[in-house]
């Protein structure tokens, strides 16, 4: 290798990264460029027509439905973010600071991770036996006499939607926060203890600031996943709530590609702005 | 904090953790039980007898859609995406160990791929094939769309691996006369093998379960998640749970297989080299 010229080594490096760049170019960058182009096209009931019109954007931005849908999507994102943050932080904190051996930490961590590798749709469906009209929770409430009629809001509601989001996405908080916490020097915690800090003070002044990168990464994951979701909301809200991505997928079902494209461009800009704001808090690349 | 009696907070946190695990697994357990409902049973408890009636219903194509065909398509798609994810991530991971012009752009492309809403990938790839007048199919557009989701994970794992990888192993191999290919094949890949199994697990399972990025990209025949989604609107019998049980059991077998592979590799390594001096992959 040393005998080979530098230039050859540079060529090898570019060849190594070329497949990755090709995939991202062909299936991410180019499609997004195409969406942007098509968002200016016209369409009829039967076809999409190359053109340059602003009507699709005008319709998106002038419609009250758009703002209502964004508001609802942001509400779901904020609720899910807050719950997964508290839950994810607690779980990660327990694993990192209260489980004493690495072997147990890894075992319990793996137990949390396994569901991530199974089907999201099945995990959503699996709430039906619990939340349904005749489900476990309603039967239990009825038999204890707490309620006299089954609670209708449990399934196919905003409640079940948020529940499903938390169920599916808390792991995206646990992993990066746990990763950050595992890098905290144990002596810092001990030093805080020696300075008579209570456990709570140690969390607030030592653990929390040092876990900030993990919190930011987890937040980016959870917020972008909820902002772009249309499957969970359709399945779990029973058609009672809307999300921006669901609006797009409905337009696609009617083959209104240019309208869907304009909506998609706006959604992408909103998501990128949110992420850019979060990235300001942390340099993601340093954390790997 | 490491020694001595456990503080009271430990028990409170352990309880939270226990509830969290129950929250993760409880619903799955419920549908596994309910998939064994008797023929007259419904979607909720109580159990009306026990049977494998609903599993049998799965394999009759007319009753609950094309389970076998969609499973085979998802399997093929998952294996293809898995192979490509491992190869492409490994190659890119090797490239990122050196400085090269544009590395920051490639990194941000990977991050972008994670945060771009999946419906944009579906829509964009679908439009691309429409404009080019190519037919979408799982082995073309489907594979590409799924790679935009699996490759960032693969790449991030590779970053984590190579940040902790000691160059001295390769230097030793070079000193003994190995060329770069031999070094990669006989030194680097064996050392990082457990992580490559991890990348493969991500590649396969994320693709196998992907719904949103499959929507406009897999062509006329559904993959399994699309088929299951269709069933949720048509089927209101425990056959749905039976399907959930079958696919979940399959996922668990894949995960356990991957974990077993990692454990075996590490055990074997420990036996050969009782006290490894450097870092492991």
Distance CA B42, CA A132 (A): 11
Confidence band of B106 (pLDDT split at 50, 70, 90): very high
Per CB-CB distance under 8 Å, the chain A contacts of B89 are 20
Q: What CA dihedral angle connects A16, A22, A28 and A30, to 10 degrees?
A: 150
- Is position A132 within any domain? yes
Residue A6 falls inside a structural domain: no
Between CA A145 and CA A141 the distance in angstroms is 6
Asked whether the beta carbons of residue B28 and residue A122 sit closer than 8 angstroms, the reply is yes
Whether residue A249 lies within 8 A of chain B, CB to CB, comes out as yes
Residue-wise pLDDT tens digits, B125-178:
999 998 888 888 888 889 999 999 999 999 999 998 888 888 888 888 888 888
- pLDDT at residue A97 above 50? yes
Q: What percent of chain B has pLDDT over 70?
A: 93
Question: Is A83 within the bounds of a domain?
Answer: yes
Residue predicted with more confidence, A75 or A156: A75
CA dihedral of A74, A78, A79, A82, whole degrees rounded to 10: 170
Residue of B nearest to A29 (CA): B109
Q: What pLDDT, on a 0 to 100 scale, did the predictor assign at position A151?
A: 78
Q: Percent of chain A scored above 70 by pLDDT?
A: 96
Contact criterion met (CB < 8 Å) for A129 and B123: no
What local confidence, expressed as pLDDT, does residue A1 receive? 47
DSSP label at residue B214:
G
The pLDDT confidence band at residue B279, using thresholds 50, 70 and 90, is very low
> Is the separation of the CB atoms in B58 and B239 below 8 Å?
yes
Residue B97 is classified by DSSP as T
Domain count, chain A: 1
**Coil vs helix vs strand at B25:** helix
CATH of the domain at A191: 1.10.3720.10
Output the CA–CA distances (angstroms, integers) from residue B238 to A129, A150, A264, B51, B62, in the order listed.
10, 21, 37, 11, 16
Share of chain A above pLDDT 90, in %: 40
From the list A13, A117, A189, the residue facing B255 with the nearest CB is: A117
Instruction: Indicate whether A20 belongs to any domain.
Output: no
Would you say residue A32 has pLDDT above 90?
Answer: yes
Q: Is residue A183 part of a domain?
A: yes
Contacts of A236 (CB under 8 A, 6+ apart): A124, A127, A155, A156, A160, A161, A163, A164
Say whether B62 sits in a helix, a strand or coil.
helix
Q: Is residue A9 part of a domain?
A: no
Q: Which residues contact B155 (CB under 8 A, 6 or more apart)?
A: A20, B89, B92, B93, B96, B110
Token duo for residue B177: 């006369």
The predicted pLDDT at position A173 comes to 94
Q: Copy the structure tokens of residue B87.
A: 């190869």
Question: Which of A144-158, B26-40, B263-277 has the least mean pLDDT?
Answer: B263-277
CA A31/CA B219 separation, integer angstroms: 17
ipTM score: 0.87
Q: What is the pLDDT of residue A227?
A: 93
pLDDT band at A204 (very low <50, low <70, confident <90, very high): confident
Establish if B69 touches chain A: CB-CB under 8 angstroms.
no
Confidence category of residue A84, pLDDT binned at 50, 70, 90: very high
Residue B279, min C-alpha distance to chain A (Å) = 16
Largest CA distance in chain A: 84
Least confident range from A83-92, B50-59, B154-163: namely: B50-59
pLDDT at B281: 41
Question: For position B53, what pLDDT does the model report?
Answer: 75
User: What average pLDDT does this structure show over B254-271?
Assistant: 86
Chain B closest CA to A142's CA: distance in Å?
A: 14
Domains and CATH numbers, chain B: 65-272 (1.10.3720.10)
| Predicted confidence (pLDDT) per residue in A217-255, tens digit | 899 999 999 999 999 998 888 877 889 999 999 888 888
Q: Which of A12, A25, A27, A32 would best serve as a mutation to test chain B binding (most B beta carbons within 10 A)?
A: A27
Range of the domain at A140: 63-287
What average pLDDT does range B191-217 have in this prediction? 90
Q: What was the pLDDT predicted at B280?
A: 45
Of A24, A90, A134, the CB nearest to B109: A24
Say if residues A77 and A83 touch (Cβ distance below 8 Å): no
Please report the DSSP string for B106-139 in residue order: HHHHHHHHHHS-HHHHHHHHHHHHHHTTPPP-II
Residues B23-47, mean pLDDT to the nearest whole number:
82
Does any domain span residue A57? no
- CA nearest to A250 within chain B: B119
- The alpha-carbon gap from B141 to the nearest alpha carbon of chain A, in Å, equals 8
Per-residue pLDDT, averaged over A48-55, amounts to: 86
**How many CB atoms lie under 10 A from the CB of residue B243?**
29
Is B117–A267 a contact, with Cβ atoms under 8 angstroms apart?
A: yes
Q: Flag whether A1 is in a domain.
A: no
Tokens 């050196």 belong to B98
pLDDT in tens, B217-234: 888 888 888 888 888 877
């Amino acid at each position: 290798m040393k005998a080979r010229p530098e230039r050859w080594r540079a060529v090898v490096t570019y060849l190594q990264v070329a497949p990755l760049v090709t995939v991202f170019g062909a299936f991410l960058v180019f499609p997004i460029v195409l969406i942007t182009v098509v968002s200016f096209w016209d369409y009829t009931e039967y076809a999409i027509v190359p053109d340059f019109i602003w009507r699709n954007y005008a319709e998106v931005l002038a419609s009250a439905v758009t703002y209502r849908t964004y508001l609802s999507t942001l509400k779901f994102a904020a609720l899910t973010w807050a719950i997964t943050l508290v839950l994810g932080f607690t779980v990660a904190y327990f694993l990192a600071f209260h489980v004493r051996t690495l072997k147990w930490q890894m075992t319990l961590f793996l137990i949390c991770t396994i569901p991530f590798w199974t089907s999201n749709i099945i995990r959503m469906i699996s709430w039906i036996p619990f939340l349904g009209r005749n489900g476990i929770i309603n039967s239990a409430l009825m038999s204890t006499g707490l309620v006299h009629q089954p609670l209708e809001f449990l399934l196919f509601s905003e409640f079940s939607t948020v529940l499903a989001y938390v169920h599916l996405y808390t792991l995206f908080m646990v992993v990066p926060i746990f990763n950050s916490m595992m890098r905290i020097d144990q002596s810092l915690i001990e030093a805080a203890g020696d300075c008579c800090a209570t456990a709570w003070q140690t969390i607030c002044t030592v653990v929390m600031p040092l876990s900030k990168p993990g919190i930011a990464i987890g937040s980016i994951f959870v917020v972008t996943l909820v902002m772009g979701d249309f499957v969970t909301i359709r399945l779990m809200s029973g058609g009672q709530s809307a999300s921006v991505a669901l609006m797009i997928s409905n337009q696609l079902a009617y083959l209104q590609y240019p309208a869907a494209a304009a909506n998609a461009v706006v959604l992408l800009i909103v998501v990128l702005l949110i992420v850019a704001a979060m990235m300001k808090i942390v340099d993601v690349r340093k954390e790997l | 904090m490491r020694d001595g009696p456990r503080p009271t907070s430990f028990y409170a946190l352990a309880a939270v953790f226990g509830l969290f695990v129950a929250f993760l697994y409880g619903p799955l357990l419920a549908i596994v039980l309910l998939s064994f409902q008797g023929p007259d049973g419904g979607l909720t408890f109580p159990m009306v007898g026990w049977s494998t009636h609903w599993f049998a219903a799965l394999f009759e194509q007319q009753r609950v859609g094309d389970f076998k065909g969609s499973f085979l398509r998802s399997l093929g798609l998952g294996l293809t995406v898995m192979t490509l994810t491992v190869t492409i991530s490994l190659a890119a991971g090797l490239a990122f160990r050196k400085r090269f012009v544009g590395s920051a752009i490639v990194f941000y492309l990977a991050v972008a791929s994670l945060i771009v809403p999946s419906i944009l990938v579906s829509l964009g790839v679908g439009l691309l094939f429409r404009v080019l007048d190519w037919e979408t199919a799982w082995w073309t557009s489907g594979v590409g769309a799924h790679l935009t989701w699996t490759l960032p994970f693969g790449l991030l794992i590779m970053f984590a691996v190579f940040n902790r990888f000691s160059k001295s192993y390769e230097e030793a191999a070079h000193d003994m006369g190995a060329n770069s290919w031999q070094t990669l094949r006989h030194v680097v890949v064996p050392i990082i093998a457990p992580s490559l199994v991890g990348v493969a697990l991500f590649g396969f399972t994320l693709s196998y379960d992907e719904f949103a990025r499959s929507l406009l990209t897999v062509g006329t025949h559904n993959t399994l998640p699309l088929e299951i989604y269709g069933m949720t609107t048509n089927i209101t019998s425990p056959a749905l749970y039976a399907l959930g049980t079958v696919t979940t059991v399959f996922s668990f077998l894949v995960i356990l297989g991957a974990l077993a592979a990692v454990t075996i590799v590490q055990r074997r390594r420990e036996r050969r080299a009782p006290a490894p001096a450097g870092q492991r992959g």
